[in-house]
Amino acid sequence: MDPRFLPHNAHLEDPERFRLLDPQLRALRSLPLVHRFGLLDRIPTDTPGIYSITGGRQIGKTTLLKQWMAELLDAGVSAKRIAYFTGELIDDHHSLVRIISEHLQQTPPEAMRYLLLDEITYVREWDKGVKYLADTGLLNQAMVILTGSDSVIIRDARTRFPGRRGKGDVADFHLFPLSFAEVIQLKQVLDAHQFIQLQEKEKEPDIPTTKALFAEFGNFLTHGGFLTAINDLAMNGRVLPATLATYADWIRGDVLKRGRHDHFLREIMNAIVERIGSQVTWNSLAQGLSVNHPATVSNYLSLLADMDVIYIQPALVEDKLAAAPKKARKLHFADPFISHAVNAWLHPTGDPYREQIVPALHEPRTCARLAESCAVSHLRRWYPTYYIKAAGEVDIAFVHQGKFWPVEVKWTQQIRPGELKQVAKYPNGCIWSRTERRSVIAGVPAEPLPVALARMALAAQED
């Protein structure tokens, strides 16, 4: 193996000490909260093919691969049959073909080989290299896992090698930041009895369980589902400036790498922050920006959505259960942590946690917008997710079981009945609120938002 890749292939030196020698797994040992990704249970281990894992930066794709390698070793897979390569060290598809071919020549062809190609989109024309390797038959007895942070690039490239994906039931996976339910499980917020209460959808959790969920939801609005930020808060009582800066730098770096401009990105990010959760058109967003062409604004927003930085929420055509192409859309950050990281980049300060994050969570309007975005970004993981714009507005309409389910998010102490006129028109409408007990408001059933989010995530995990 090329010596450059050896630090990430410590299992070749000593399989039994892989968890101690590997840089990612070794770093986990020093953290108070270590998450095992549920996606590990969905990746097959005995079906040759080309698989992909996409997802935003800094959410743990590399760590997931290393955990998978460790579990393969635990299951008795020979170390020589497993190899990890990072695209950051591979220039182009010619180098990719050479490196993989040389490696495969040194491994037993009669048994399954596991090739992990991390951040494959760093490799110029990587899809040509993968297609060539597949066409030559070198991958016939191999599981190839490709990861990338830009879902569109990797998705478009996959279409260029149809028929070479293998026979796995699912070939493409997407890794999101941890959901609220996963954070609850990671931190062991609830005991076994309380967790059972949460899983019983028809029953209301007792008051201690609900209060624990509300307290943890406040933490979730601080660190989101990003493990580095979660551990920052656990170890230091705050999210460190370096953690926020690292993520913001990744956003900027990836955008600039794709030929965009830093000052345009800053302007557009400012515009997003000011309009979170509001209806916007690309024309209206472009007004007042130096990048005043709607097509350019659309281009940047599409890129940020592909990078899992934001989610673009369309309006719903109710009778078609599809997006309304001509109506305004809403913009949401894909995770609370991303919102804080972007704000810290736009408005630098010595201690962004105490000077920005804590005040934001105590400002009612800002906190309410953050909670709404959190609900939207959760639901869109599992269901097509829209908003309703008719005579009135409904924050969320997700499609499930052949119909749409309207949800109004009210993370405020007081709810005005006039704000519920539209959601009240739907027999299956509901409110996710800040009240700690179930209730009926203006004829609409209301459930505590943290309880609803946790239950939705648990139900999706079971599906």
Q: What pLDDT, on the 0 to 100 scale, is given for residue 169?
A: 66
**Residue spans of alpha helices (H) in 192-335:** 192-199, 207-223, 227-236, 241-257, 262-275, 282-286, 294-306
* DSSP strand pairing (430-433 vs 444-448): parallel
Q: How far is CA 389 from CA 317, 438, 443, in A?
A: 9, 26, 20
Domain boundaries, the chain: 3-174, 180-462
pLDDT the model gives residue 154: 78
- 3-174: which CATH topology? Rossmann fold (3.40.50)
At residue 19, what is the residue type?
R
Looking at residue 167, its pLDDT comes to 65
> What is the residue whose two structure tokens read 């931190």?
187
Q: Which residues contact 105 (CB under 8 A, 6 or more apart)?
A: none
Handedness of CA 186, 189, 192, 196 (dihedral sign): negative
pLDDT along the chain (463 residues), means of 10: 92 94 94 94 90 90 96 95 95 96 86 94 92 92 90 75 67 93 95 87 90 96 97 97 95 89 94 94 90 90 94 96 95 97 96 97 95 97 96 95 96 86 96 94 94 89 66
Distant-in-sequence, close-in-space partners of 88: CB < 8 Å, separation ≥ 6: 119, 122
Rounded to the nearest angstrom, the gap between the alpha carbon of residue 236 and the centroid of all alpha carbons in its chain is 24
If 0-12 CB within 10 Å is exposed, 13-18 middle and 19+ buried, where does residue 253 land? exposed
